[in-house]
Amino acid sequence: MPTPTDAAGSEPGAAASSAPTPVIEFVDVEKSFGNNVVLKDLNFQVARGERVTLIGPSGSGKTTILRLVMTLEELTGGYIYIDGQPLTHHKRDGKRVPVSKKEQKRLRTRIGMVFQQFNLFPNMTVLENIIEAPIHVLGRSKKDAIAKAHSLLEQVGLPEKADSHPSSLSGGQQQRVAIARALAMDPEILLLDEVTSALDPEVVDDVLNILREVADTTNVTMLIVTHEMGFARDVSHKVMMFDGGHVVEEGPPDKIFTNPEQERTRKFLSAVLGH
Amino acid sequence: MEFFEDWPQYFEVVINWSDRLMAGLWTTIQLTLFGGLLAFVVAVTLGLLAGSPHRWMRIPARILIEFFRGISLVVLLFWLMFVLPQIWMRNPDLPFRDLVYNTFLLGVIALGVNYGAYGAEAVRASLTTVPSGQWEATTALSMSWPHKMRRIIFPQAWALMLPSLANLWVHLLKGSAIAYIMPFVSDFTAELNQLRRPTDIWFSHAFIGLIVYFLLALILTIFMQALEARAKHKLGRGPSLKEILSPAPKAVVPEGSGVKIADSEQEAAGAGSAPAKPEGGVR
Amino acid sequence: MILNLTQAAEIDDPSMVDEEEVRRSPFWDWDFAFDAFPDIFMAFLEVTLLVTVIGSLLAAVLGLVIAILIMVLPKPLAWLVRWVANFIRMTPIVVQLIFVFWAFVWMDALTIGIIVFGVHYATYMSEVYRAGIESVPRGQWEATTALSMSAGRTWRKVVIPQALRSTVPSLGNYAISMFKDTPFLLVIGVAEMVTVAGERGAPVFRTTEVYTIAGLLFLAASYPTAVLINRLEKRLAYAH
C-alpha cells in the first residue's frame, strides 16, 4: 500500500517509509440506519499527511465515512481511532465502551470539515464565521484570530468580503469562506464532503484550486469525497473505490484511474468520466 | 392543603352535584358543536369569497373577516346581547323576536362568527396552496367554477385546511367558557362556579374543570386528526383510517397530540399566510 | 381594581330592559359617546394594553425557556414539561383565570391576569419557537459540531438568532390574540376596557355607544398591527 511522506507539498502517490501511527484508523466499522446497513466490516488506515479520496456511486457510504469521523453520525459497530486514540468507543474486555464526551470533544477540535452546502452561519458576518471557533473553542485571542482570518481570506481570494454577510455572497464565494473557516482551526485532518457539488460549473475550478494550494503548502491529512475525478487524481495519494458499503478497490490514483483491476471500478469511472 | 385532607367530603359534593355538572357539560358540548358548525359554514363561505378573483366578492368578504376577527369575542357577545335586541325593541313587529333574546343562540352566533372569520383565513390560504397547475388543468378542461371547486380544488385544499380548522375548534371550545357570564346559559364553567358555594374550596373543582376541558379538547383533536388522515388518504398520501386504526395503533395520535396541534398550525401557516387563531399573514 | 366578583360575573338579563325607555331614546347618542370615551380609553391604556404588553413579554421569554427545556431535558422530564404545556394550552383561559384567582386569593387580580395570560400564551409561543428551532437547517448544527462549538454557544450564537428570525411574526400574532382575549379578565373582576365600558353604560341604560367604542378600539389597535406584522413577515421571508 502506498503511503505518503510527511513532507509538506509531497507529490501525490509518492511512496515513502511506512508511517508510525495512522492518523485515522477504522477497525471493523459498521454503520446502519435502522435496518439499513450502510457500512459493514470496514477497515482502513490513513497516514499522517496522506490525502485519500473516496469515490463510488451515490449511496455507497462515502459521505457516511466522513460524517462518522466528524461524529455527525453515531457509530453502530466497530472502532475509529484518531491518532491512535478512540474517537467514540474503546475496546475493553472485548466490549465497546463509549469514550467520555470531553475526550471526544478534544479529539474533534483536531478535525475540520467543509460541507457540500457550505453551512455558513447566516446571522454572522464572514469574519465572525471564521473567528467564532478559534476564539471560543481554542481560546485564541481575538486579535490573533482576526489576523489569521484576514490572511486566510487573502488566501481564498476574498480579502474584501470580511464584513459581508454570507447571503450576499455567491455559492463559490461562500464555499471559499467555509474553507477558510475550517482552516482557521488549524485542523490536522480536513474532511471535504462533495465541496463542489452545489456549485455552478464555472466556479468549481476556483474552489478546487484553493484546495490544491492547501494540499501543496500544508501537511494536513485529507479525506475527500468528490465527483471531480481530475481533482481527485491531482491531489490524492490514494483513491478508494466504494460500492455497497465495501471497498471495491484501492490504490494510487494513477493506477485506479488508468488501469483499475475491478470491473465495477471501470464501469463507474466510464460512467462519471464519459458523461 | 385543605383539599387533600377534606378530599372525601369534596368527593361527596361533586357526586351530589354531578347532575348539574353533567347538564353544564352538555351545554358546553352543544355550544362547541353548534358554534363549530356555524364557524365552519362562515369559514368556507367567507374563505371562498375572499379567494375569489372578483373584487366585488373579495372586498366585502375581507371587510367581514377583518371585522369579526378584529373585535374581541367578548365585545361581539355583548354587542349581540345588548345592542342587537334594541332593533327589535324599536320595531316590535319584526319577526324572530324570541330568537334575539335566546342567549344560547347568541352565544353560538358569537362563537361561530368570531372563529369562523379566523377559519376563513385558513380556507383562503389553503386554496392558494393548491398548485397552480391544478387550477390551470381545470380551466383547460373547461370545468365550471362549482364543478372544479367541488371535485378538484376543494378536496385538495381540505386536507391542508383541516389542521388549522382542528386548532380553531379547540380554540372555540375554550372560548365557549366565556358563555358562562351570559344569563340563562349554564355551561360547564357556570356550574363549576356554582359549585364553589357549597364546597368553599372552589379551586379544587376548577382543577377538575380544567381536566374535563382538556379531555374534551383531546377528543376533538383526535377526531380531527382522523378526518385529516382520511382526507390525505383520499389524495393518495398516507394510509387509510382503517389501516391506521387496525393492527398497530400508532399514527393517529403521534406522541403528544397537543404538540401535534401546534405542529399542524405551523404547517398551515407554512403556505405563508394563515396561522390558525392569531391573524397570521392577513390579506 | 377588584369588583364584586358575583356582580362582575353575572350580567343583567337583557330582556328585563324597559322597552319603553329604549324606544324613547335614540339608538346612537353622540354626546354620550364623547362623554364615555375618555374613561373607556383610559381603561384601554391602563389595563388592556398593560396586560398585553407585559403578558406578551412574559410569554415570549417563558415560551423560549419551555421550548429549550423540552429539547434539552432528559426524555421523561421533557415529556412532563411538554404535557403540562399541552394541558395549559388546551384548557380555557377563563377557567384558568378563575382557578388561579381562587388558589391565590391574596394576590392582586391584575397580577394574576398578567401571569395567567403570560403563561397561557407562553405555551403557544413555545410551539412557535420549537418550529423556529426545527427550521434551522441541520447543516448549521453540523457546522457547529465540526467547529467543536460548545452547546451553550451553539444555542446562543447560531440556533436562537436564526430561529428568532422566523418566529417574530408568529409571536406578534399571538400578542394580538392575547390583546383580544383580555376582556376575559372580567371574570376575575379586573376593570379592563369592556368592563369599564359596561359600567359606564349601565347607569344610563345605554349600551350601544360603549360597546361599539370598545369594539372599535380593538379593531383600531389590532388591524394595523396585524398588517404591519404581515409586512414584516414578507420582508423577513425575502431577506433570507
Residues near C154 by beta carbon (within 8 Å), at least 6 away in sequence:
C141, C144
Range in A242-251, B97-106, C128-137 the model is least confident about: B97-106
Number of domains chain B contains: 1
Per-residue pLDDT, B4:
58
C23 occurs within a structural domain? no
Q: Which of B32-46, B264-278, C31-45, C119-133 has the lowest mean pLDDT?
A: B264-278
Cell of B177: 367558557
- Residue C165 exposure: Cα atoms within 13 Å on the Cβ side: 18
Residue C215 lies in a domain: yes
pLDDT for the residue B5: 63
Spell out which residues of chain C touch residue B74, defining contact as CB-CB under 8 Å. Answer: 183-184, 186, 194
Q: Residue type for A197, please? A: S
- From chain C, the residues in CB contact with A133 under 8 A are 147-149
The predicted structure's pLDDT at residue C123: 96
Mean of the pLDDT values across residues A63-84?
92
Q: Which of residues 122-151 of B touch C (CB under 8 A)?
A: none
Distance from C-alpha of B169 to C-alpha of B163, rounded to nearest angstrom: 10
Here the CATH number for the domain that contains residue C226 is: 1.10.3720.10
Domain definitions of chain A by residue range: 120-186
Grid cell of A198 as nine digits: 452545489
The DSSP annotation for chain B comes to: -HHHHTHHHHHHHHHHTHHHHHHHHHHHHHHHHHHHHHHHHHHHHHHHHHT-S-HHHHHHHHHHHHHHHHS-HHHHHHIIIIIHHHHHHH-TT-S-TTGGG-HHHHHHHHHHHHHHHHHHHHHHHHHHHS-HHHHHHHHHTT--HHHHIIIIIHHHHHHHHHHHHHHHHHHHHHHGGGGGGSTT---HHHHHHHHHHHHS-HHHHHHHHHHHHHHHHHHHHHHHHHHHHHHHHHTT-S--HHHHHSSS--SSS-S-HHHHHHHHHHHHHHTSS--TTTT-S--
Mean pLDDT of B145-150: 84
A13 vs A11: CA distance, rounded Å: 6
Please, which residues have CB within 8 angstroms of residue C207's CB and are 6 or more apart in sequence?
Answer: B78, B82, B83, B86, C198, C201
Backbone φ and ψ for A79, nearest 5 degrees, come out as -140, 145
* Residue in C147, C154, C167 to test binding to A, most A beta-carbons within 10 Å: C147
The reply to whether C17 falls in a domain is: no
B139 vs C178, higher pLDDT: C178
Binding-face residues of B in 33-72 toward C, CB within 8 A: 66-67, 70-72
**Is A136 close to C162, i.e. CB distance below 8 A?**
no
Average pLDDT on A39-61 reads 90
What 3-state class would DSSP assign to A189? strand
Q: Which residue of C has its CA nearest to B213?
A: C91
Distance CA C81, CA C96 (A): 18
Q: Name the region of A268 (left: φ>0; alpha: ψ -120 to 50; beta: rest).
A: alpha
Residue type, B80: L
Q: Which helix (H) or strand (E) holds C67?
A: helix C50-72
What distance in Å separates residue C111's CA from the closest CA in chain B? 18
User: C148–A181: do the CB atoms touch at under 8 Å?
Assistant: no
Classify residue B187: in a domain, yes or no.
Answer: yes
Q: Do C148 and A105 touch (CB under 8 A)?
A: yes
Question: Does residue A172 surpass a pLDDT of 50?
Answer: yes
Whether B189 and C96 lie within 8 Å, measured CB to CB:
no
Local confidence band at C174 (pLDDT 50, 70, 90 cut-offs):
very high
- Give yes or no for residue B13 having a pLDDT over 80: no
Mutate to test the interface with C, among B82, B181, B195, B219 (most CBs of C within 10 A): B82
Share of chain B above pLDDT 90, in %: 29
Q: What is the structure's pLDDT at B199?
A: 58
| Cross-chain residue pair C158–A123, CB shorter than 8 Å | yes
Angstrom CA distances, B248 to A264, B218, B244, C149, stand at 43, 20, 7, 42
pLDDT in tens, B88-99: 888 778 788 778
With an 8 Å CB cutoff and a minimum of 3 pairs, decide whether chains C and A touch: yes
Give the model's pLDDT for residue B274.
Answer: 33
Question: Which residues fall within 8 angstroms of residue A197, CB to CB, at 6 or more apart?
Answer: A116, A227
Check C143 against A167: CB less than 8 A apart: no
Of the candidate ranges A193-197, B26-30, B137-141, C3-7, the one whose mean pLDDT is the lowest: C3-7
The answer, yes or no, to whether residue A32 has pLDDT greater than 80, is: yes
Q: Scanning every residue of chain B, which has its alpha carbon at the shortest distance from the alpha carbon of C27?
A: B86
C184 found inside a domain: yes
Bridge partners, A54 (sequence order): A225, A240
Whether residues C90 and B183 touch (CB distance < 8 A) is answered with no
Query: What letter would DSSP give residue A60?
Result: S
Mean pLDDT value of segment B198-202: 59
Q: Does B251 touch chain C (CB under 8 A)?
A: no
Mutate to test the interface with B, among C15, C47, C91, C171 (most CBs of B within 10 A): C91
Residue pLDDT, tens place only, C44-96:
999 999 999 999 999 999 999 999 999 989 999 999 999 999 999 999 999 99
Confidence tier at C17 by pLDDT (50, 70, 90): low
Q: Is the pLDDT of residue B263 over 80?
A: no
Is residue C147 within 8 angstroms of chain A, CB to CB? yes
Report pLDDT for B246. Answer: 62
Q: Do chains B and C touch (3 or more CB pairs under 8 A)?
A: yes
Continuous segment of H or E residues that includes residue A192: strand A189-193
- Examine the pLDDT at B270 and tell me if it is beyond 60: no
Q: In chain B, how long is the greatest CA-to-CA distance?
A: 74
Q: Which three cell numbers stand for residue C21?
A: 325607555
Q: What is the mean pLDDT of the segment spanning C199-204?
A: 81
pLDDT at position B198 is: 61
| Per-residue cell: C109 | 387580580
The pLDDT of residue B31 is: 92
Instruction: Judge whether B84 is closer than 8 Å to chain C, CB to CB.
Output: no
Q: How many domains does chain C have?
A: 1
Chains that touch C (3 or more CB pairs under 8 A): A, B
Residue C2 falls inside a structural domain: no
Q: Which residues contact C2 (CB under 8 A, 6 or more apart)?
A: C109, C188, C189, C190
SS3 A44: strand
For B66, the closest chain C residue by CA position comes to C223
Looking at residue B208, its pLDDT comes to 80
| Residue carrying C-alpha cell 387580580 | C109
CB atoms within 10 A of CB C49: 16
List C-alpha distances in Å: B258 to B80, B216, C10, C135.
Answer: 33, 12, 33, 20
Amino acid at C163: A
Q: How far apart are the C-alpha atoms of B171 and B65, rounded to whole Å?
A: 17
Chain C residues 101-160 within an 8 A CB cutoff of chain B? 102-103, 124, 127-128, 130-131
Q: What is the pLDDT of residue B201?
A: 59
* Residues in C 157-186 with any Cβ partner in A closer than 8 A: 157-158, 161-162, 165
pLDDT digits (tens, 9 = 90+) for C130-148: 999 998 999 999 999 999 9
For the beta carbon of residue B16, count every other beta carbon within 10 angstroms: 12
8 Å CB contact between A113 and A178: no
Is the Cβ of C235 closer than 8 Å to some Cβ of chain A?
no
Residue C93: enclosing H or E segment and its boundaries?
helix C93-103
Is B210–C127 a contact, with Cβ atoms under 8 angstroms apart? no
Give pLDDT, residue C238.
Answer: 55
Highest mean pLDDT among A99-103, A173-177, B75-79, B246-250: A173-177
Q: Which of B134, B84, B87, B123 is nearest to B105 (CA)?
A: B84
Q: Is residue B208 part of a domain?
A: yes
CB C170, CB B265: distance < 8 Å = no
Query: Which residues are CB-contacts of C80 (< 8 A; sequence separation ≥ 6)?
Result: none
Q: Among the listed ranges A247-251, A260-264, B169-173, B234-238, which one has the minimum average pLDDT value?
A: B234-238
CA dist., res. B228 & res. A116, Å (int): 37
Give the pLDDT confidence of A82-108 residue by residue, as tens digits.
Answer: 999 999 998 888 889 999 988 888 899
* Averaged pLDDT, C13-21: 62
Task: Give me the residue label for grid cell 383547460.
Answer: B140
Q: Contacts of residue C231 in chain B, CB cutoff 8 Å?
A: none
Q: What is the mean pLDDT of residues C167-180?
A: 90
B and A make contact (3+ CB pairs below 8 Å): no
Residue A46 has pLDDT above 50, yes or no: yes
Question: Which chain C positions have a beta carbon within 8 Å of A132's beta carbon?
Answer: 147, 149, 153, 157
Residue B200 has pLDDT above 70, yes or no: no
Cα A216-A222-A228 angle, rounded to 5 deg = 80
pLDDT at A5 > cutoff 50: no
The average pLDDT across C164-174 equals 87
Tell me if C149 and A113 make a contact (CB, 8 A cut-off).
Answer: no
Give the list of residues 6+ apart from residue B68 with CB closer than 8 angstroms, or none: B42, B76, B113, B114, B116, B117
φ/ψ (deg, to 5) at A45: -130, 150
* Residues of chain C with C-beta less than 8 angstroms from the C-beta of A71: 145
| Bridge partners of residue A25, in order along the sequence | A45, A81
Average pLDDT rounded to a whole number, residues C217-237: 86
Domain span including residue C228: 31-239
- For the CA atoms of C140, C146, C149, C153, what is the dihedral angle to 10 degrees? 0
pLDDT above 70 covers a percentage of chain A that reads: 93
Average pLDDT over chain C reads 86
How much is the pLDDT for B2? 53
**Chain B to chain C, count of Cβ pairs less than 8 Å apart?**
201
The string over B49-58, giving b where at least 16 C-beta atoms fall within 10 Å of a residue's C-beta and e elsewhere, is bbbbeeeeee
Q: Is residue B278 a part of any domain in this protein? A: no
C contact residues 61-120, partner A, Cβ 8 Å cutoff: none
Q: For A131-146, how does the pLDDT look when each residue is reduced to its tens digit (9 = 90+)?
A: 999 999 999 999 999 9
Q: Is the per-residue pLDDT at C203 higher than 80?
A: no
The proportion of chain C whose per-residue pLDDT surpasses 90, expressed as a percent, equals 50
- What is the rounded distance in angstroms from the CA atom of residue B194 to the CA atom of residue B196? 5
Find chains touching chain A: ≥3 CB pairs under 8 Å.
C
Q: Enter the ipTM.
A: 0.83
For the record, the C-alpha cell of C90 comes out as 388546551
A126, A169 Cβ separation under 8 angstroms? yes
Cβ burial of A119 (10 Å; 0-12, 13-18, 19+) is buried
CATH number of the domain that residue B222 is part of: 1.10.3720.10
Residue B192: domain span: 2-270
Average pLDDT, chain B: 78
